[in-house]
Amino acid sequence: MHFTSEQRLDNGVLEREFTLGEIPGILWTPASASAPAPLILLGPPPLGLRKAYPRLAARARHVAADGFATATIELPGSGDRPRLPASEQARADLRRAVAAGEPVADEIIDAFILPLVDKAVPEWQAVLDALLSLPEIGGPVGYSGGVISIGTRLAVVEPRISAAVLFAGSFVPRAMFEEARQVTIPLHVLLQWDDEGNDRQAALDLFDAFGSKEKTLHANMGGHTGVPQFAGDAAGQFFTRHLK
Amino acid sequence: MHFTSEQRLDNGVLEREFTLGEIPGILWTPASASAPAPLILLGPPPLGLRKAYPRLAARARHVAADGFATATIELPGSGDRPRLPASEQARADLRRAVAAGEPVADEIIDAFILPLVDKAVPEWQAVLDALLSLPEIGGPVGYSGGVISIGTRLAVVEPRISAAVLFAGSFVPRAMFEEARQVTIPLHVLLQWDDEGNDRQAALDLFDAFGSKEKTLHANMGGHTGVPQFAGDAAGQFFTRHLK
C-alpha cells in the first residue's frame, strides 16, 4: 500500500490517497487516536470516486468524530480504471431500459453486476489486509455502502467484517438472494422508497432473504441520492452499537 | 379531568391516574419541568391498560428524561370499560382465523377495527383538550402507538398532532388506505417483520399510501412484542427532532 498524497481536513482528520497494486483508494483517520481505530469500509457507488468524493468525505468526517477510520476504493471499471468489458454493454442496456421506463431483464442485471462483484470483493479483501497492517487501524471492521451485491458477498466471505450498512439502491442479480441467506452478521439496510434506479420489491425481497438474526430496514422518502441526514445518523449509531 | 391517584416514580416522574367522563387514563409528567412540557399521546394496544402498563410506563419514563409528558387512555371496549358489541364478535372471528392460520376476511377486519376507531378518536381529542388546559402541559403534541388505524385517523382529523410514531402491528381496514393518503405530518412507522398477528404486505402498502413528505419505515426482526430497544430509541429521536 503506497500513500500518494496526504492532507489534514479542517476538523483534523487525516486524508490519504493510496494505491494497492492497480487499486486506488482513500483512507481517513481520526484527528487524535489514542488506540488503533475501528474501521469502516465505505463501499463507493459505481460512478467513480471523483464524483462520489464529496459524499464519501462528508461521511468519513462525520464518523471520524466517533473515532472511526474509514477507507474507500475506486471500483473496478470506474473512474480512471480500465473498463470491465463484461459489464459495460450491460450497463448501457440497463440505463436504456430504465430511461425508457421498461422492466430490466434479469440477464442484463446479472451481466452488469456479477462481474463487478467477482472482481471487487477480492480487491476489498486485499485492501483490508493492507489496512489492518497499519498501526493506526485496529478493528472491528464494518462495511457501509454502495452496490448492495458487493456488500452482501463481502458479508458472506469475509469473516473480519462484523456488521454492515447496506444501501438497497442497485439492481440485484437473482443469484444474490441465495448468498443473502448465508449472511449472519448484523445488518442495517437503507432503502429510498422512490429510488428511480431501483426495484423496491426486489429490495424488500432481499431484505427478507438475509439470514441475519439482527437486521433492520430503514426506508425513507425520496430518490436515489435523497437519503436524509437523520438516516445517516441512524446508520452511524448502528456502527457505534456494533463496532465500539 | 379528575385525578384519582398520584405517585412519584423512582426517577421523579409524576404518575397520575385520571378519568375524563367514562374514559380512564394515566398522565406522566417529567420530574422537573421549567416550562410547559411537550406531550406524547401513547396509544395503547387493545389488550387493556393493566396488561399494557409495564411497557407504557417504561416508555413514559424513558421519554420523560428528554422532557416529554406522556398520557395514555383505556381504549373503548378494553380493560374494565364496557365491551363494544359491534367489534366483540369480529375480534373473536379474527383470533380464530389467525389461530387457524387462515387469511382474515376484509369484513372481519372492518368490523373489528372501524367501530374502535370511530369511538376512540373523539375520546383522544377530548382528552387532548383536557391535557392542554393543564399548566404543566404545553406542546407540541405527538402521537405514538398502538392500533395504527386510530393513529392514522387522528393524524388526519386532529391538527394539534404534529408528528406520529405508528406501529404497524394490527390489521388495516381497506377504508384506512384512503385516509392514509390524507396524512401530511411527519411519520415514523415501526414494523415487526415476522409479526404473527399482522399482514406484512398490508403494512407496506399502508406505509406507501401515507401522504406525508417525511415518512420513515423501521422494520426489525421478531414478532409483535419483540421491538428492539434501539428501535424505541430511534422513535424517541424522531420525536425529539420534531417536537422540541
* Helix/strand/coil for B26: strand
- Quote the pLDDT of residue A44: 92
CA angle B54, B115, B170 (to 5 degrees): 50
CATH 2.60.40.420 corresponds to the domain B2-82+116-243 = no
A50-84 pLDDT, tens digit each: 999 999 999 999 999 999 999 999 999 999 999 98
Q: How far apart are CA A169 and CA A201, in angstroms?
A: 12
At residue A33, does pLDDT exceed 70? no
Cβ contacts from A onto B, under 8 A: 49
Q: Which residues contact B220 (CB under 8 A, 6 or more apart)?
A: A215, A216, A217, B190, B191, B192, B193, B226, B227, B228, B231
A126-171 pLDDT tens trace: 999 999 999 999 989 999 988 999 999 999 999 999 999 999 988 8
- CA A13 to centroid of chain Cα atoms: 21
Note the pLDDT tens digit of each residue in B178-220: 999 999 999 999 999 998 778 899 999 999 999 999 999 999 9
Tens-digit pLDDT profile for residues A2-14: 999 999 998 899 9
Average pLDDT on B117-123 reads: 97
Peptide bond into A140 cis (omega under 30): yes
In tens, the pLDDT along A77-105 reads: 999 999 988 788 998 998 899 889 888 99
* pLDDT > 70: percent of chain B: 100
Please report, for chain B, the start and end positions of each structural domain, with discontinuous segments joined by +: 2-82+116-243
Query: Which among B217, B228, B237 is the nearest to A219, CB-wise?
Result: B217
Residue A193 has pLDDT above 90, yes or no: yes
Mean pLDDT, chain B, as a whole number? Answer: 94
* Cβ neighbours of A212 in B, within 8 Å: 221
pLDDT-wise least confident of A148-152, A196-200, B201-205, B224-228: A196-200
Chain B hits for A241, CB-CB cut-off 8 Å, are: 230
CB contact under 8 A, B221 and A207: no
Residues 162-221 of A with CB under 8 A from B: 193, 204, 207-208, 212-221
Three-state secondary-structure class, residue A131: helix
Q: Tell me the average pLDDT across B7-34.
A: 92
Return the pLDDT at A54: 92
List the grid coordinates of A168.
Answer: 438497497
Chain B residues near residue A215 by CB distance under 8 angstroms? 220-221
Give the sign of the dihedral formed by CA B185, CA B227, CA A180, CA A46: positive
**In this predicted structure, what is the pLDDT of residue B34?**
75
The verdict on a CB contact (< 8 Å) between B219 and A219 is yes
The residue of B166, B192, B227, B230 whose CB has the most chain A CBs within 10 angstroms, and thus the best one to mutate to test that interface, is B230
In degrees, to the nearest 5, what angle opens at C-alpha A56 toward C-alphas A183 and A228? 80
- The per-residue pLDDT for range B44-66, each reduced to its tens digit, is 988 899 999 999 999 999 999 99
Mean predicted confidence (pLDDT) in A180-195: 96
- Alpha-carbon gap: B191 to the closest alpha carbon of chain A (Å): 9
Buried b (16+ CB within 10 A) or exposed e, A185-214: bbbbbbbbbebeebbbebbbebbbbbebeb
Q: Is B105 helix (H, G, I), strand (E, B) or coil?
A: coil
Which pLDDT band, with edges at 50, 70 and 90, does A212 fall under?
Answer: very high
Chain mean position to CA A244: 20
Select from B204, B216, B237 the Cβ nearest to the Cβ of A220: B216
Of B214, B216, B234, which is closest to A219 when you measure between CB atoms? B216
* Among A217, A237, A241, beta carbon nearest to B219: A217
H-run or E-run covering A157? helix A148-157
Fold for domain A2-82+115-243? Rossmann fold (3.40.50)
